[in-house]
């Protein structure tokens, strides 16, 4: 199957990719409250979008989108099970692993240097750091709160800390020490995420060689420069690329 549209339904944003004539994906984001086929992003050309493949981490929103799309387009396929994915998984309970994590690993397997280990970092509502071994097997990872969750937690669970706007997740003035409360919060959140990734990469090092690093997610800009010495590749479409690759293996 070669889909025209792939969709990742997340907890905060819905990501849609429309496949162009050259096979590349044109990416668009929209918020769940905009859901409905009549308000899908107008920057995307859906005139020939006959086959859709949909996955994600929010089952209710997925179901709503599938109902809307089914009224308009010919063929809608949902990826809901890790067994549909073209990747070996070596964890205790593969059925509990978020499909977005696994789809990112599927894409990384195509992008990474053959024989090299890889780590994907998806900075969304949650941050997931995911390990792929040299044979292309997903071997687990770690999960921590994302930018917005950290900001909200600091504000809601203290009496004086302000809620910092996370629009665009682009934090400036994040150097230590922060000269204002706002700067200290921005630095703390970015450093917490980047520090966790750095420690994971250090643990994943083999014979002194770090894994290849792939960054994705709406908040990846908040940490990319803090990880520059690992030469990360930012791939905004990573999960959608994994969904496209998966779709190509489906009957």
Residue carrying the six token digits 């090299």? 116
CATH of region 87-236, choose from 1.10.443.10, 1.20.140.10, 3.30.420.40, 3.30.2310.20 = 3.30.420.40
For residue 68, give the 3-state DSSP assignment.
helix
Q: Give the Cα separation of 211 and 204 in Å (integer).
A: 7
pLDDT in tens, 107-163: 999 999 999 999 999 998 899 999 999 999 999 999 999 988 999 999 999 999 999
List all residues 6 or more positions away from 209 whose beta carbon is below 8 Å from its beta carbon: none
What is the third-level CATH fold of 5-78? Nucleotidyltransferase; domain 5 (3.30.420)
pLDDT in tens, 81-107: 999 999 999 999 999 999 999 999 999
| Residues 2/248, Cβ–Cβ less than 8 Å | yes
| Residues 41/30, Cβ–Cβ less than 8 Å | yes
Q: Mean pLDDT throughout 59-76?
A: 78
pLDDT value, residue 172: 58
pLDDT in tens, 28-51: 887 766 555 455 555 667 777 888
pLDDT at 168 over 50: no
Q: What is the torsion angle, in degrees rounded to the nearest 10, for the CA atoms of residue 223, residue 225, residue 231 and residue 237?
A: 50
Catalytic residue (choose from 22, 31, 45, 100): 100
Q: Give the Cα separation of 187 and 48 in Å (integer).
A: 45
CATH 3.30.420.40 domain position(s) in the chain: 5-78, 87-236
What does pTM read for this prediction? Answer: 0.90
Name the strand (E) or helix (H) holding 127.
strand 126-132
pLDDT value, residue 34: 54
| Residues 60/68, Cβ–Cβ less than 8 Å | no
Name the strand (E) or helix (H) holding 183.
helix 181-203
Confidence band of 171 (pLDDT split at 50, 70, 90): low
Q: Give the Cα separation of 4 and 17 in Å (integer).
A: 8
| Beta-bridge mates of residue 121 | 129, 215
Q: Which two tokens stand for residue 72?
A: 């308009």
pLDDT at 169 over 50: no
Give yes or no: 100 in active site: yes
């Amino acid at each position: 199957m070669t889909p025209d549209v792939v969709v990742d339904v997340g907890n905060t944003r819905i990501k849609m990719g429309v496949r162009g004539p050259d096979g590349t994906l044109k990416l668009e984001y929209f918020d769940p409250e905009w859901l409905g086929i009549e308000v899908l992003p107008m920057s995307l050309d859906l005139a020939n979008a006959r086959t859709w493949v949909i996955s994600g981490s929010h089952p209710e929103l997925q179901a709503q989108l599938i109902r809307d799309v089914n009224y308009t387009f010919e063929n809608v396929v949902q990826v809901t099970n890790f067994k549909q994915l073209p990747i070996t998984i070596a964890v205790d309970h593969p059925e509990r692993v978020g499909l977005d994590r696994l789809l990112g690993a599927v894409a990384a397997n195509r992008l990474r240097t053959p024989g090299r280990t890889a780590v994907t970092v998806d900075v969304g509502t949650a941050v997931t750091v995911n390990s792929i071994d040299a044979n292309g097997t997903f071997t687990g990872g770690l999960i921590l709160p994302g930018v917005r969750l950290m900001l909200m937690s600091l504000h809601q669970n203290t009496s004086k800390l302000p809620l910092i706007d996370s629009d665009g997740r682009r934090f400036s003035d994040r150097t230590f020490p922060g000269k204002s409360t706002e700067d200290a919060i921005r630095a703390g959140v970015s450093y917490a995420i980047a520090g966790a990734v750095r420690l994971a990469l250090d643990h994943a090092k083999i014979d002194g060689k770090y894994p290849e690093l792939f960054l994705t997610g709406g908040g990846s800009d908040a940490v990319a420069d803090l990880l520059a010495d690992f030469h990360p590749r930012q791939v905004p479409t990573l999960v959608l690329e994994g969904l496209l690759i998966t779709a190509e293996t489906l009957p």
